[in-house]
Chains A and B, each alone.
Chain A
Amino acid sequence: MRIAPTIVAVPLLVLLLTWLSLRAANLDAEQFYRALGELDHFSMVEAAVHRDVLNMRIGVLRNYDPLVQEVNALSTSLAQLRETVASDEQTVKVIDRLAQSVRQREALVEKFKSSNALLQNSLAYFSMFSDRLVPADQIESMTPGVGALAAAMLRLTLDTSSTTALAVEDRLNELAREPVSPGDAEAVNALLAHGRLLHDLLPATDAMLKSLCGAPEKANRILVRDLIGAHQEASRATAHRFRVVLYITSLALVAALVYLGLQLQQRASALRRRAAFEHVLAGISIRFLNSRPQHIDRNIDQALAEMAECVGADRAYFAVLGPSPCLHRWSRGDITYPPNWPERAPALAAKFNPAFEGIVQVVDANALARGAE
């Protein structure tokens, strides 16, 4: 048996199966799940930023620490996302655009924080000074313009449109022109200072809020998700194809194994028969070696019978042609000889070309012409 092809074929087959298995296992799936998970996390943090800037604006959030953590988390999340999809240049480009957008948003958040801090201060002071100028036990203010300014400012806290801002500006200018008693001068000046600041800050801060809570990042985020999704789908499809190839390969291997098994069985059977025949031949040889001349014919008959039984023949002949011909024959049980047999055997043998040392080999007995035996 030639061993070299087997030595080459087996490692190649192992490599092929390993490669097919790895490709069919869709090992990239974990990476895509991580990327999508990170993108979800990014979206959650982004929503938290939106929530907390609104909470800061209305005073529900007590300090800026959560906002700082969230903004940092946005950058961290994007860095991890970039690392996860680093092998895909197209997605990395979109993530870089997203990162640029996050940096712009972070700058806006910082502006909002600074603006909101001043806004909260000035709102507090505006309220305090307007209260001081209009004590609760007085029906009318000593300075009438204070009430009108307070009303206009309240509208501006609810509606920061330019019309409302213009109304506040008018009230501020009116109050600035009004004569003020010396006792109220300091409070009116403070009211005007904070009022002017609020006039600028309220619309500006709300504009920042609108920009912050807008959706310029959404498009890039969706694009990243789509790209990851497309890669994930392609990876799945590839893995599916390789699973099919792996299945077909497995079926081919099973068929090959069955074929080889049958071959092995046949060869084992042939070997067993051959061994049995060799054993019979060995016994016959030993018997001939130990035989006396007068027992040769009997031993030939016995040998003929043993060999014929060993190969499962119905009839067997041993003919010696020549000057002193002789003929030995054997048949199984009550099987009779055909007419003119075994006398016709030499004539039939003469029809074939002896292959080696006068041995005639009939490969397919069924192929012989009917009646040839």
Chain B
Amino acid sequence: MRFAYPWRIASVCLALLLANTLGVGSEDLPAAAVTPRTDQEPITPIPPAPDADPRKLALGARLFNDPRLSHDGSRACVTCHDVSSNGADANERDTAMDGSPYQFNTSTVFNAALSFRYGWEGRFRTLEAQVESSLNNPLLMGTSVDEVLVKLRSDDELAGLFREAYGHAPDRDSLFNAIATYERSLLTPGSRFDHWLNGDVTALTADELSGYRLFKSLGCVSCHQGVNIGGNLFERHGIFHPLAAPKPEILRVPSLRNIVMTPPYFHDGSAATLDEAVRKMGAAQLDRKLSDRQVDAIVAFLQTLTGTYHGAPVVAAQP
């Protein structure tokens, strides 16, 4: 017996195979009141912040706001990472110490601890390493760890807080640990999407749920998955078409948590709006020209990813 249309069988088999892996075709299912099966969803809810010594946490928060961590005292961590809004700022690219625009757009510090590497290029394996690099970077804080330690040790009150938290005067490890401990606490649980993942079927509207399904079926979820909806792998950008500044070619996939509140987008901050970013991503990474309806649906889903910090929703930074 000879199959008259082997390509038809092949096409059906391939479609079945992919339906299993990516949920292709789920766009056609009814959208409302669907109970998620958390173990089958590629995204997981944000866990509670890890337990931490409150003295170290308070010290880290104080250091995060301390301009003495920059050489000329002109900026603190919070200058670019405003935790009262979105954990970043509204600038396309922040100004470096020499007055030039910095190479990268400032990423939000919210949920940064959930990523597997830190920085746009993912060069840092620990938050402590990133803190050290930021201090020593002449374009960012323009100081050195030793210079910062001299300043901190000369402050009796702060040195006392170090002794209370760590049992000794400020040193490299305790400085890095205090800031990293604080950064690990900067999680934003409580997004509507997390509520839905936790079983609240009313947390998402039908449009938002459709947007989530589209997000999966279009393949966005191939990279933007896991607890941080990204942040757990490296990927080349501009696979099919240019996306943004061509260098660096490989980036750590950014998290989409609170994405609506963290414009502008991409590593060079070249996409001013989320609509624009979604469209560009579709073309560059998926070779897909997304329709307005598709963009709206995906943005509707992305709007459900805004969490809360200290009980208040994360908001966009003011320009």
Binding site for B on A (CB under 8 A): 58-59, 62-65, 67-68, 72, 110, 113-114, 117-118, 120-121, 123-128, 130-131, 134, 139-141, 146-151, 153-155, 157, 190, 193-194, 197
Is B287 a contact of A62 with CB atoms below 8 Å? no
B17, B21, B225, B226 interface centre (most CB from chain A within 10 Å): B21
Binding site for A on B (CB under 8 A): 5-11, 13-15, 17-18, 20-22, 24, 39-44, 116, 217-219, 222-223, 225-227, 232-236, 239-240, 250, 285-288
Is A63 a contact of B234 with CB atoms below 8 Å? no
Residues of A within 8 Å of B232, CB to CB, are 63-65, 67-68, 113
Is B18 a contact of A124 with CB atoms below 8 Å? yes
Is B11 a contact of A157 with CB atoms below 8 Å? no
Q: How far is the CA of A149 from the CA of B11 in the complex (A)?
A: 9
Is B24 a contact of A117 with CB atoms below 8 Å? no
Q: How far is the CA of A113 from the CA of B227 in the complex (A)?
A: 16
Not counting A59-B21, A64-B226, A110-B233, a sample of 6 additional A-B residue pairs whose C-beta atoms are within 8 angstroms of each other reads: A126-B14, A147-B5, A147-B6, A147-B7, A153-B10, A193-B240
Is B11 a contact of A121 with CB atoms below 8 Å? no
Looking at the assembled complex, report how far the CB atom of B119 sits from the nearest CB atom of chain A, in whole angstroms.
15
With A110-B233, A110-B234: A120-B222 Cβ-Cβ less than 8 Å: yes
Please report the number of residue pairs spanning A and B whose Cβ atoms sit closer than 8 angstroms: 122
Is B24 a contact of A127 with CB atoms below 8 Å? yes
Contact partner, A113, options B18, B234, B285, B288, Cβ 8 Å = B234
Looking at the assembled complex, report how far the CB atom of B236 sits from the nearest CB atom of chain A, in whole angstroms.
7
Contact partner, B217, options A117, A124, A146, Cβ 8 Å = A124
Q: How far is the CA of A190 from the CA of B8 in the complex (A)?
A: 19
Contact partner, B233, options A114, A124, A146, A150, Cβ 8 Å = A114
Is B234 a contact of A127 with CB atoms below 8 Å? no
Residues of A within 8 Å of B24, CB to CB, are 124, 127-128
Residues of B within 8 Å of A120, CB to CB, are 21-22, 219, 222
Residues of A within 8 Å of B223, CB to CB, are 117
A63, A153, A193 interface centre (most CB from chain B within 10 Å): A63
Looking at the assembled complex, report how far the CB atom of A190 sits from the nearest CB atom of chain B, in whole angstroms.
6
Q: Using CB atoms, name the residue of chain A closest to B39.
A: A62
Looking at the assembled complex, report how far the CB atom of B85 sits from the nearest CB atom of chain A, in whole angstroms.
27
Looking at the assembled complex, report how far the CB atom of A91 sits from the nearest CB atom of chain B, in whole angstroms.
25
Is A114 a contact of B14 with CB atoms below 8 Å? no
Q: Using CB atoms, name the residue of chain A closest to B229.
A: A63
With A125-B286, A154-B14, A193-B287: A63-B44 Cβ-Cβ less than 8 Å: yes
Write 30 A-B pairs (CB below 8 A) sorted by A numbering. A62-B39, A62-B225, A63-B44, A64-B232, A68-B116, A68-B232, A110-B233, A114-B233, A114-B234, A117-B233, A120-B21, A120-B22, A121-B222, A124-B22, A125-B286, A125-B287, A127-B14, A127-B18, A131-B15, A147-B5, A147-B7, A147-B10, A150-B7, A150-B10, A150-B11, A151-B6, A151-B10, A157-B14, A157-B17, A193-B240
Residues of B within 8 Å of A130, CB to CB, are 11, 14
Q: Using CB atoms, name the residue of chain A closest to B41.
A: A62
Is A131 a contact of B219 with CB atoms below 8 Å? no
Q: How far is the CA of A140 from the CA of B7 in the complex (A)?
A: 10
Is B288 a contact of A63 with CB atoms below 8 Å? no
Q: How far is the CA of A305 from the CA of B15 in the complex (A)?
A: 128
Looking at the assembled complex, report how far the CB atom of B183 sits from the nearest CB atom of chain A, in whole angstroms.
18
Q: How far is the CA of A72 from the CA of B226 in the complex (A)?
A: 16
Residues of A within 8 Å of B236, CB to CB, are 114, 118
B18, B43, B233 interface centre (most CB from chain A within 10 Å): B233
